[in-house]
Amino acid sequence: MSFRLFFSIWLFVCFLLISIPPALSEPISRGALLSNSCAGCHGTDGRSPGAIPSINGKSALFIAGSMREFRSGKRPSTVMGRHAKGYSDEEIQLIAEFFASRK
């Protein structure tokens, strides 16, 4: 590869990196990161594509309460109880607030 070609590619890559919109470079919230494991069943941003209930736009109180009930075993489940047991109260609240903000 000639120096000119290498340099041209390098300049192009630098230009692309500099021109990334600021919105893409903003940090992702902790609630958004924690909610990634929910997307497999409940869909991206909580919009379920199938039989699993959608949780986007539901109140944070409802989502957090449901997750705590799944975690304690008060609310029966096949999968959610196991998932919810892996989260602290703080993490459940962050997840609930994230999905409540997806309208």
Distance from C-alpha of 74 to C-alpha of 72, rounded to nearest angstrom: 5
- Determine, yes or no, domain membership for 50: yes
Query: Number of folded domains in the chain?
Result: 1
- Determine, yes or no, domain membership for 12: no
Model confidence pLDDT, tens digit, residues 5-40: 666 677 666 666 666 665 555 678 999 999 999 988
The residues, ordered by sequence, that sit 6+ positions from 25 with a Cβ below 8 Å of its Cβ are: none
- Determine, yes or no, domain membership for 6: no
CB 63 within 8 A of CB 96: yes
Confidence of residue 75 (pLDDT cuts 50, 70, 90): very high
- Determine, yes or no, domain membership for 89: yes
- Determine, yes or no, domain membership for 21: no
pLDDT at 67 over 80: yes
Mean pLDDT of 34-63: 90
Token pair of 67 as six digits: 């997750």
CATH number for the domain including 58?
A: 1.10.760.10
Q: What range defines the domain where residue 67 resides?
A: 27-100
Pick the range with the lowest mean pLDDT from 11-25, 37-51, 61-75.
Answer: 11-25
